């Protein structure tokens, strides 16, 4: 029988092939899915293929089943523990899986059938949707309580939903912020609600500090040490400003040049922080 140790990735797989009849050994790299499908369909004799658990490979399992080959899935932690060397490459991983298969030490685990996996996926999808519905209902209950509307479960009745729709909501002036490139309605409204009265900030640096966009400092004596950004402000605002900063860098020539310069000099993460501060400074 031909035995294959497979180091499976999303875009390709590195395989080590051993024929226990002839003793022949080969190594190959197969791209997904066309090259891999062509290789396994071209093999006439049944083969045994071993991979680590955790890889998203349902299409690969289906392919091997159609071709009449065996797929063994192994415990990834036990496979890694079988190799004491610290050098880890795709080729070494494939050879290790092959070695465990040949020596009958492969830590095979149980795998559900394709039908069971589909039903499990449906179950998880329902679970996520129920959680999302519960979160929305809790948020609406909190909104109603803040406005003095205490209905409990009756809030979801027809009369309760009508009262919820009629709650007075304040309007916030955020249109001026939306004139800046990259700033949309959500970012503008979140900025207004997070910063509040902007006259309390004397400079853009204070705004950046309020949102946790300035570096942490660990200075002593004559040495100044600056670390990563403090992240002590609103995490929602930092998330929205990342999106706004990258959009602004594509549309604003000056910001685009500064962004590209920082990516080349430092890294993309530092450039994103610069984009955030650039949006808030305007």
Q: How far apart are CA 54 and CA 7, in angstroms?
A: 11
Predicted local distance difference test score (pLDDT) of residue 38: 94
Where helices occur in 103-170 by DSSP H, the ranges are 114-146, 158-165
Predicted local distance difference test score (pLDDT) of residue 170: 54
Per-residue pLDDT of the chain (282 residues; tens, 9 = 90+): 899 999 999 999 999 999 988 889 999 999 998 999 999 999 888 999 999 998 788 899 999 999 999 999 999 999 999 988 888 899 999 999 999 999 999 999 998 888 888 898 899 999 999 999 999 888 888 888 888 888 888 888 888 888 888 876 555 556 667 777 777 777 877 877 787 777 888 887 888 888 888 888 888 888 888 878 788 888 888 888 888 877 777 777 777 787 788 778 877 777 777 666 666 655
3-state secondary structure (DSSP) of residue 13: strand
Predicted local distance difference test score (pLDDT) of residue 243: 80
3-state secondary structure (DSSP) of residue 149: coil
Q: How far apart are CA 272 and CA 169, in angstroms?
A: 34
Nearest CA among 55, 3, 50 for reference residue 32: 55
Predicted local distance difference test score (pLDDT) of residue 209: 83
Predicted local distance difference test score (pLDDT) of residue 101: 94
Predicted local distance difference test score (pLDDT) of residue 225: 84
Predicted local distance difference test score (pLDDT) of residue 197: 79
Predicted local distance difference test score (pLDDT) of residue 279: 63
Q: Please give the domain boundaries of the chain with CATH numbers for all domains.
A: 2-102 (3.30.420.110), 114-165 (no CATH), 177-281 (no CATH)
Termini Cα distance of the chain: 69
Give strand ranges (E) for 20-69: 25-31, 47-52
């Amino acid at each position: 029988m031909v035995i294959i140790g497979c180091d499976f990735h999303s875009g390709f797989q590195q395989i080590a092939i051993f024929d226990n009849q002839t003793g022949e050994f080969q190594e190959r790299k197969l791209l997904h899915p066309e090259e891999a499908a062509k290789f396994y369909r071209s093999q006439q004799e049944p083969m045994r293929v071993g991979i680590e658990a955790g890889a998203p490979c349902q299409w690969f399992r289906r392919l091997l089943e159609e071709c009449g080959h065996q797929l063994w899935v192994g415990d990834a932690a036990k496979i890694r523990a079988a190799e004491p060397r610290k050098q880890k490459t795709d080729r070494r991983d494939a050879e290790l899986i092959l070695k465990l298969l040949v020596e009958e030490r492969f830590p095979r685990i149980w795998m559900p059938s394709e039908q069971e996996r589909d039903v499990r996926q449906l179950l998880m999808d329902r679970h996520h949707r129920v959680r999302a519905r519960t979160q929305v209902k809790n948020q609406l209950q909190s909104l109603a309580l803040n406005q003095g509307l205490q209905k409990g479960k009756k809030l979801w009745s027809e009369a309760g939903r009508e009262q919820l729709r009629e709650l007075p909501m304040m309007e916030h002036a955020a249109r001026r912020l939306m004139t800046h490139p990259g700033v949309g309605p959500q970012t503008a409204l979140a900025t207004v609600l997070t910063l509040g009265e902007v006259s309390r900030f004397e400079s853009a640096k204070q705004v950046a500090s309020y949102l946790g966009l300035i570096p942490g400092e660990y200075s002593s004596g004559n040495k100044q040490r600056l670390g990563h950004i403090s992240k002590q402000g609103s995490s929602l605002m930092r998330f929205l400003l990342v999106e706004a900063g990258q959009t602004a860098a594509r549309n604003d020539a000056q910001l685009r040049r500064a962004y590209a310069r920082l990516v080349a000099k430092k890294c993309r993460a530092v450039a994103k922080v610069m984009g955030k501060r650039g949006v808030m400074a305007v």
